[in-house]
């Protein structure tokens, strides 16, 4: 009678976790799926991998499903469900899933230089219109003084479709709307805080490791001094940072590859990836 040893890996139908160069907890908010029980890691009894698996499972809750509960919640208090980033196609879909996986990764360029250029351009356009209005007033003061004391008289006596005061005032009003819009947008961006150095490093490292974009379209990473944080961050962000700094100090590099922005509801790191 033949004896068959137990399989060392889960059957093909069993859900598996994403294999990532960084071991990032790659999850994105999703409305589907169920939270299941812990996944048992298959390893030889008494092996170093199994021993480490038991230790690792004691630190991190695990899930047999690609969906699990997140610490983030809906407005009605229901916990959000999360889905692995690797479930999304490589490229912009996967990058969007990564950015959406944690509020700390909501990082974008403010394009401060371009905004300043647009502001200065619109400002000069208004300056030109302002000089035209001042010149028109000076001309009317000498030749049509009643036009400066009565709007009705001004419109009745000046029918010029291009240079009349009414036409000029309308141009100024339209240009002021454009200018105010630019100023308002700049105010919004300058009020945003700068992302922490830790979050910027993690954001850049993930993109450089996974290479979701072409080299040309990844060039925005060269402008990290222009980054702003679109979220105020999580309430326990300081604790996450403390834990990460402690791990950085205590654990060797091959283990630190998997701590990459580990949230407290993370579930998808395979201990076999660490050995």
> For the residues of the chain, what is the DSSP string, one character each?
----PPPSS--TTS------SS----EEEES------PPPPP--TT-HHHHHHHHHHHHS---SSSEEEEEEE-TTSPEEEEEEGGGSPTTHHHHHHHHHH-GGG-EEE--HHHHHHHHHHHHHHHHHHHHHHHHHHHHHHHH-GGGGT-HHHHHHH---TTTSHHHHHHHHHHHHHHHHHHHHHHHHHHTSPPPPHHHHHHHHHHHHHH--S-TGGGGGGGGGGGEEESS---TTHHHHHHHHHHHHHHS-HHHHTT-TT--TT-----GGGT-
Ranges 59-68, 116-125, 163-172, 250-259: which has the least confidence: 59-68
- Sorted by where each begins, the domain ranges of the chain are 27-109+195-273, 112-190
Q: Which of 65-79, 153-167, 242-256 has the lowest mean pLDDT?
A: 242-256
User: Given the DSSP bridges, would you call strands 79-84 and 107-109 parallel, antiparallel or unpaired?
Assistant: unpaired
Say if residue 246 is exposed, middle or buried (CB neighbours under 10 Å; 0-12, 13-18, 19+). Answer: exposed
Task: With a cut of 70, say whether residue 25 has pLDDT above it.
Answer: no
**Mean pLDDT, the chain, whole residue set:** 74
86-97 pLDDT, tens digit per residue, is: 889 999 999 999
Higher pLDDT, 56 or 250: 250
Spatial separation of the C-alpha atoms in residues 18 and 14, rounded to whole Å: 13
When computed from its CA atoms, the radius of gyration of the chain, rounded to whole angstroms, is 30
Query: Between residues 110 and 266, which one has the greater pLDDT?
Result: 110
Is the model's pLDDT at 200 over the cut of 60? Answer: yes
Alpha-carbon gap, residue 87 to 97, rounded angstroms? 9
Residues 263 and 267: their CA atoms lie apart, in Å, by 9
Give the rounded percent of residues in the chain with a pLDDT score beyond 70. 56
Average pLDDT for 140-151:
93
**22: which residues sit within 8 A by CB, 6+ positions away?**
205, 206, 209, 210, 257, 258, 260
- Top-confidence residue, 62 or 240: 240
């Amino acid at each position: 009678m033949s004896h068959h040893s137990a399989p060392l890996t889960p059957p093909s139908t069993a859900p598996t976790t994403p294999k990532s160069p960084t071991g990032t907890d790659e999850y994105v908010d999703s409305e589907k799926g169920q939270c299941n029980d812990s996944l048992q890691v298959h390893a030889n009894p008494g092996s170093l991998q199994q021993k480490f698996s038991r230790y690792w499972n004691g630190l991190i809750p695990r899930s047999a499903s690609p969906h699990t509960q997140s610490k983030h919640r809906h407005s009605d208090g229901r916990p959000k469900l999360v889905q692995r980033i690797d479930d999304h196609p490589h490229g912009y879909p996967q990058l969007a899933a990564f950015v959406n996986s944690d509020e700390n990764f909501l990082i974008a360029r403010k394009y401060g230089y371009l905004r300043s250029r647009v502001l200065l351009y619109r400002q000069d356009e208004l300056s030109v219109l302002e000089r035209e209005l001042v010149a028109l007033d000076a001309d009317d003061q000498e030749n049509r003084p009643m036009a400066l004391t009565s709007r009705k008289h001004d419109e009745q006596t000046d029918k010029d479709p291009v240079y009349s005061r009414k036409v000029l005032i309308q141009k100024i009003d339209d240009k002021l709307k454009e200018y105010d819009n630019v100023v308002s947008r700049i105010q919004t961006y300058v009020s945003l805080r700068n992302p922490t150095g830790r979050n910027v490093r993690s954001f850049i490292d993930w993109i450089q490791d996974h290479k979701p974009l072409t080299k040309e379209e990844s060039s925005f990473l060269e402008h990290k001094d222009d980054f702003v944080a679109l979220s105020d961050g999580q309430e326990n962000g300081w604790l996450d940072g403390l834990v990460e700094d402690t791990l950085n100090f205590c654990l060797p590099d091959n283990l630190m590859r998997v701590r990459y922005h580990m949230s407290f509801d993370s579930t998808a790191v395979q201990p076999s990836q660490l050995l």
